[in-house]
Every structure is written in structure tokens, then in C-alpha cells.
Structure 1
Amino acid sequence: MRHRLAHLFSLFVAPLLLAAGVLFVIAFDLLPESLARFVDITVWLFALIGALLTLSYARTRNFFALLFVFLTYQVMIKAIHLPATQGSDFYVAPATAYNLLSFLLPLLLVINSLWVERFHLLQDLLLRFLVFGLVLIISVAIGHRFPAEVNQLFNPVYFPNIYIEQLGLPQLSMLTFLAALCILFIQLLLNPQPYFAAQWVALCAMVLVLPNFHVNYAPALVTSLALVMLSMAVLHEAFQMAFRDDLTGLPGRRALNERLQRLGRNYAIAMSDVDKFKVFNDTYGHDLGDQVLQMVAAQLKRVSGGGKAYRYGGEEFTLVFPGKTAEQAKPHLEKLRIAIENYQVKLRDESSRPEKDKEGKKKRSNGGKDWVSVTISMGIAERGPKLGSPEEVIKAADEALYKAKSAGRNQIALAK
């Protein structure tokens, strides 16, 4: 749980730092006048860069989140500073536009976020354009044809006891905004991804700036901030895909290779392997095998002594201890070995398996227990006169690992 919370917090670090920086600039009016004149251009620039990034990585949800933020800014700027003529078929009064936007922005972001990307990029784009375009056209038509009715719907305070006047939003929009934040945060908890964290902060920034669209450069700066956060989420996700193992959540082989280049002169490396994992997979199935790997990874994440765990490949893991000798690292590894040995992995309900299924038959050979336990073996080596490079240390740790397995498994062996 602690590591999951730490991971969630890490997703918010960059968006919150950006938001704090922009808030600081706006609060103390720190943007030079020479730059304030160009801040509108940054909205277009970041929108274009974000669109290219999201489409390059086939992230339609990110693309439409960017689009909603960009359109919100453009509509509000035009409604306030460049009001259309009364006779225009697309004219919507500023007050009506504000009411509709403050309601639609969180609503559309939630729908877009919950809409899973399951189709080909072009199909997904067309379908979303069709659905969201229809919603926007209907909203503009309603705002143009029935402005008084729209304002009468949004202006009243229906529940005075729960109205937050400081937000500067109609209560209906405020409730939609708060509900959207809750839904998006639950989605983030269920699927911790950079996009969901960036979207959450971006929504907060945009909704809170809506009542202040007449304040100098604040709208453009906040919109640029939201666009940058949503664009950075694409790069953050791409980085995670390249350096983080999807099954276990541990850093992968590429991340390990980069870490090995910056270890310094003193370090120890341990190689660990789940004992009899192939037999376990054949006996209980690959789904439970994946569950075991996730359990082992969760335990390895808790390594103490300054160690860091990586998934090396398959059922094999690497633990790196900068500034430690093999003897100093061994007690920390021993804690992990015992914790994994004592962990009980729950088996699936036998009634959910066919009677003639091979895996079901093997499961019943477990003495009727509804759980199993696994063990790991480890080998550890340190840099020294005979082992001068990380590759040599890993090779020595791997040889020690096989000595531990040959000696009976579920133990730790030191390289000689």
C-alpha cells in the first residue's frame, strides 16, 4: 500500500509543481510585459505540439482532453473580448457561454476519460469527433435559441448548505466539477497512469480560472499550463512503457542497464529467481503464475538497506545495493526471502475449473489447501579486484544464484 501511494504521489509531482509555478507568477504578477503580449501564442503552440504528440502515440483520450481545454479557452476569449453579432447563427451570449462551458468541460473530460481506446486510431478519432461534435453542436444551438432558459437553469442556488461561493461557479456546474474530480480520482486509483493525474490537475486549473477569464494573462497562462501537463503525460507514459515492467510495476531491464552505468566504485548486486516457477506455472496455470510474480515484486520493492529491485526477465529479478558490500546487503535480502516464503498465495476456487481440466486435477494434489507458498533463491556478488564491471558482478551473482539452487533452493549464496 505504501508503495502504491508513493507511485500515485510521483504521478502528481510534475503537474503540481507546474501549477504552483504558474500560480506564483499570476499571484505576484511576475510575467514581464514583453512576454505577456506573446502568451496567447503559447496556447496555440502548446496545443499544436500536444496534438502532434498524442496522435504520434495514438492517444486519442489525451488528444481530446487537449482539444476540450483549447476550445474552452478559445470560446471564452471570443465571448468576452470578441463578441459575435446578435444576428449570427452561432451567437451565444457571454453569460450563457460561461454557464454551458463550466458545465460541459468537466462532463466531457469524464466521458472522454472513461471511454477506453479500443479501436484503430482513425476509427476512434472519427467516432469521438462524431459524438462530442454532436454534443457541442446541440449545446451551441440550445444556448443560441434558449439563452434565458439556460441561465435560469444555472443561476439558482439549489442547495445553499453545500454551495461553495468562492469557486465562482454556478452550483450546477460546481456539483458537476466536484463529481468529475471524484470520478477521475477513482479512475486514477484503479489505474495509476500519468494521463489521469495530469488530467485531474488540468481540470482543476481550467475550472478555477473560468470565472477569471478577464484577468490579464491568467487565462492564457493557465490554459498553456493545462496543455503542457496533458502533453507531458504522453511522454511520461512512453517513458514508463520503456523503463517499467508492466506486469510487476518494477523498473525493467533497460532501467537496470542505465542504473548500472552510474553505480560508482562500491556496490553489490543480487540476482534472485523464483524456485521451480516452471513447475508452478504448469501446475496452477499462467494466471496464478503472474500473480506470484506480482507478489514477489511487491515484496522486493520493500527491500531495505538502500537497495533497488528490477525485473531482469521471466521469473528472475535483480537487486542493486550502491555503496554496500555483499555481506552488508545479505541481511536485507534474508528479510525478503523469509517474507516471500511466509506469504500465502490464494488459489482460485476449484468450482470455477472444469473437472477434467489438467490444471484443476493438479490443484487438487495440493492436499486440499486453498493456498500455496513459493520461495526464492538468491546469489549476491560485489565489485572488487576480480570483478571490475557491473556485467562481471552480475555474472558472478548469477553463478552464486545457481549454487544456491543446487544446494537446495530457498537460500542465499555469496559469490567467492
Structure 2
Amino acid sequence: MRFFLSRLIYPFLLPNGLLFAAAVLGLSVAPQFPPLAPYLSVFPAAVLGVGLILGWRFNSTRLIFALLLLAMADALLGLRGAAAPFVHNALACALPLNLLGVALLAERGLVNRRGALVLGVLLTQLAAGAWLAARPMIRATAWLESDFVHLPFLDRLPLAQPALAAFALALLVLAFRFYRNPAPLEGGFLWALLAMPIALTSVPSPTLHLAAAGFILVVGVIENSHAMAYRDDLTGLPGRRALNEALARLGSRYTLAMVDIDHFKKFNDKHGHDVGDQVLRMVAGRLAAVTGGGKAFRYGGEEFSVIFPRKAVEEALPHLEALREAVAGARFHHRGKDRPKKKPARPRPSPPREKTLSVTISIGAAEKTGQRGASSQVLKAADQALYRAKKAGRNQVCD
């Protein structure tokens, strides 16, 4: 449950979920406060300008295209003419699918053939919407307002069923992507999608709600950059920079443990770096589940750190011993080079053998005391304890 909360629920709700709730609530009550009007009037332009700059600076073409898509939608929703209802219904179908397409793009830069193609598609849709706004499209409008199924609760929704189907498809795909990769920007695309039906049905203007969706995406890019700086990509654990900041915030009592994978170089030399990466991820998974209030970090290479705030070393040792046993008791299977990734429909006559590798760790722990008050001194003491554990035969805990 703890892993599920930290991996999915927290990244989904914080901060994008709070921003979404604040935007919906704030924009609903903002008209009652006239002094806010000047700030709200510049909010959309500020989001677009700052977002484009950050998208360029962080090389996030998805943010740039998403902001241009939202600006295009705002321009089309502001058109007036005989076919304005058709444009609105067509946009309600196209907007979630466009956002889904942008979310699925790989970050490969803006100034290239693919970037020009995406930009051309967006501009073509903008021009087509402007051209159609002055021309009645009765048959197309009727199709865009048609019902696939007759359900009473669907009739009470403000969007027609074709638009609802487009939103449902985009929501399912984006939710699956977030489940596979719970990164802040992936969650931002989900919340931006949820903001779009509100924008499409808002009266009198959808501009502020579309700007709020853009703001959520901007924050998602900032959160992504922060995660890249503080979290290790391979293991998913916080990195060394996060460790240094955590140590600086700790009080006068804590225990720091240094963890090293025994004979890790042999895994890389004998089985290759891919197997070495699998070992690192397996150990990191056990470290992430450490008990006793400990928090694990990737220190570098095959070394990890665990902090136990407000705990003496005697209190932390049982949890470190349980961690050592969990790693030693794990069965790490090395997939053979000729073994298929998926189970075949018919088993082979002589299936390749799967090797079981033994993985152990050595741990050194040190407590902050009066003689070693600085975090660097505690770290050095934990390193010395780790050296004693390795010298004594490895696969043990020393303090």
C-alpha cells in the first residue's frame, strides 16, 4: 500500500491535482472579486509566454505543442458565425485527440521534420476551423450531436456523445501511460485533459480554463526537471543531491547507513551491464521497502544510503539486518540470451537453462554524535563501518 501511494497516488495528486482543484474553485468565484480582474486578464498570456520559454529551455516540445494547441482551441472557440456550433462540436471531438497525440510524442526537438509536421497539422486545423466558422454545416453538425447509445445520464451531460467518446479514449490511454510512467508531466496531461470539458462548457469564455490547463502542464515540466535532478533514473530512488539536502535538514539525532552490493563488478564482467542494471533495480526495490522509517537513496555506482531520522544506531540495526536478509533471500534469475521474452505457445524440446544468481549486500551504519556533528563526519564513519563489514567477509551489518 505504501508503494502504491508513493508511486501512483501522490504523483497524480501532488501538485497537479491540487492545481486543478484550485483552478476550478478559483475561477468559479473569481468574478465575485473585481480587483482580481486585471490579474486574470494577463494570466493566459503569461502562461503561454512563460510556458513557451520553459519548453524551449527544457527542450520539451510536448509542452510547446500543447500550449499552441490550447491557444488554437481558444481562438476557435471565440469565433462567431453561422457554423459556430459545428466548430464547437468538432473541436470538442478533436481537442482531446490532439492532446493525446501531443502526449504520445517523443521529445526529439522542435526544429526538425517531425516538429514541422506537427506544427503544420495544428495550423491546418486552425485554418480549417476559421474557414468553416462562416459556413453552415447542418449534416456534419447533426452527426457530431448524434447519440450512439440511449442512456438517460448521458443526456444530462453538457457534451455530445462523439465528444465524450473522444475524451474517454484519451483518458484511458493517458491513464495507462501514467500507470506505466508516473512522471509529473504525464500526470499533467491527464489533469489538462480533465480541464478541457470544463473549458468547452464554460460561459462566457473558456480562455481562463484553457490557461489553467496550460499552467498545469507548465508545472508538470518544472516538476519533471526537478525529478531528473533529484531522482535516479535507473533505480527510481532519490539521488545523491537529494541525500545531501536531506542530511542538511536532519536534526541532532539520526543514523546513516551505507550499503554496497557485494562483488558487483563480477556481475558486470561475467554477465554484462544489463544484468548489473537488473541487480541494481532489485536491490533498490528492497531498499525502498526498508522498515523502521528509513529512507533509501542511490549514492552512486553500486552504493546506496539509508537514513533513519530520530533513531539511534541500536534502533536502526534490526531494520538493516532485515534488509540484508531480504536481499540475500531474494531469488535473482538471470535470463539466458536465447530465452524468449514471452512464453511460447509450444514449449521447446530442450528449453535453455535459467541461472539463479546470489546477490548479497554489506552495510555500515553510524549515528550522529557529539564527536561527529557534521553530516560529512557521519558519512565517513558509516563508510568506515562498511569497510569493516566487507573486510569481515561481506553479507553483514557493522556499526
Shared fold per TM-score greater than 0.5: yes
Q: In the alignment, which residue of structure 1 is the partner of 2:6?
A: 6
Counterpart Cα distance in 2 of 1:167 and 1:371: 56
Q: In the alignment, which residue of structure 1 is the partner of 2:177?
A: 187
> What are the superposed Cα offsets for residues 273-300 of structure 1, whole Å, 9 maximum, x if unpaired?
0000000111111111101101111111
Local SS of the residue matching 2:174: helix
- Does residue 207 of structure 2 align to residue 220 of structure 1? yes
The TM-score with structure 1 as length reference comes to 0.87
Which residue identity lines up with residue 15 of structure 1 in the other structure? N
Q: In the alignment, which residue of structure 2 is the partner of 1:65?
A: 66
> What are the superposed Cα offsets for residues 179-214 of structure 1, whole Å, 9 maximum, x if unpaired?
100011111112221111011111111123312232
Of the three residues 336, 346, 351, the one matched with 2:338 is: 351
1:4 shift after superposition: 4.8
Does the aligned pair in 2 maintain the 1:143–1:150 contact within 8 Å?
no
- Give the paired residue count: 386
The answer to which of 9-18 and 124-133 deviates more is 124-133
1:2 shift after superposition: 4.4
Q: In the alignment, which residue of structure 2 is the partner of 1:88?
A: none
Which residue identity lines up with residue 91 of structure 2 in the other structure? L
- Does residue 388 of structure 2 align to residue 403 of structure 1? yes
- Does residue 113 of structure 2 align to residue 126 of structure 1? no
Q: In the alignment, which residue of structure 2 is the partner of 1:74?
A: 75
Local SS of the residue matching 1:346: strand
Alignment of 1:329-348 (within 5 A): 329-348=316-335
Does the aligned pair in 2 maintain the 1:243–1:253 contact within 8 Å?
yes
Does the aligned pair in 2 maintain the 1:69–1:206 contact within 8 Å?
no
Counterpart Cα distance in 1 of 2:273 and 2:375: 32
Q: In the alignment, which residue of structure 1 is the partner of 2:167?
A: 177
Displaced runs of 4+ in structure 1, greater than 6 A? none
Which residue identity lines up with residue 34 of structure 1 in the other structure? P
Report the CA distance shift for 1:351/1:369 in structure 2 as closer, same or farther (over 3 A).
closer
Alignment of 1:219-258 (within 5 A): 219-258=206-245
Counterpart Cα distance in 1 of 2:220 and 2:84: 32
Q: RMSD in angstroms over aligned alpha carbons?
A: 2.2
> What are the superposed Cα offsets for residues 17-58 of structure 1, whole Å, 9 maximum, x if unpaired?
112122223445575113235423211111111111111111
Does the aligned pair in 1 maintain the 2:30–2:36 contact within 8 Å?
no
Counterpart Cα distance in 2 of 1:197 and 1:34: 33
Local SS of the residue matching 1:245: coil
Counterpart Cα distance in 2 of 1:300 and 1:277: 16
> What are the superposed Cα offsets for residues 233-282 of structure 1, whole Å, 9 maximum, x if unpaired?
11101101111111011111111111111111111100000000000111
> What are the superposed Cα offsets for residues 147-169 of structure 1, whole Å, 9 maximum, x if unpaired?
21220211111211386234311
Q: In the alignment, which residue of structure 2 is the partner of 1:372?
A: 357
Which residue identity lines up with residue 10 of structure 1 in the other structure? Y
Does the aligned pair in 2 maintain the 1:167–1:208 contact within 8 Å?
no
> What are the superposed Cα offsets for residues 318-360 of structure 1, whole Å, 9 maximum, x if unpaired?
111111111110111111111111111221134259xxxxxxx
Which residue identity lines up with residue 270 of structure 2 in the other structure? T
> What are the superposed Cα offsets for residues 81-138 of structure 1, whole Å, 9 maximum, x if unpaired?
xx26xxxxxxx722011111101110101111112223x4311432321233334445
> What are the superposed Cα offsets for residues 378-400 of structure 1, whole Å, 9 maximum, x if unpaired?
00001113212111111111111
Which residue identity lines up with residue 394 of structure 1 in the other structure? L
Report the CA distance shift for 1:69/1:162 in structure 2 as closer, same or farther (over 3 A).
farther
Report the CA distance shift for 1:37/1:157 in structure 2 as closer, same or farther (over 3 A).
farther
Q: In the alignment, which residue of structure 2 is the partner of 1:361?
A: none
The TM-score with structure 2 as length reference comes to 0.90
1:406 shift after superposition: 1.1
Local SS of the residue matching 1:167: coil
Which residue identity lines up with residue 11 of structure 2 in the other structure? L
Local SS of the residue matching 2:299: strand
Of the three residues 387, 391, 395, the one matched with 2:376 is: 391
Q: In the alignment, which residue of structure 1 is the partner of 2:305?
A: 318
Percent identical across equivalent pairs? 38
Q: In the alignment, which residue of structure 2 is the partner of 1:288?
A: 275
Q: In the alignment, which residue of structure 1 is the partner of 2:22?
A: 21
Q: In the alignment, which residue of structure 2 is the partner of 1:271?
A: 258
Counterpart Cα distance in 2 of 1:227 and 1:22: 11
Local SS of the residue matching 2:384: helix
Local SS of the residue matching 1:121: coil
Local SS of the residue matching 2:73: helix
Alignment of 1:63-102 (within 5 A): 63-76=64-77, 78-79=78-79, 83=80, 93-102=83-92
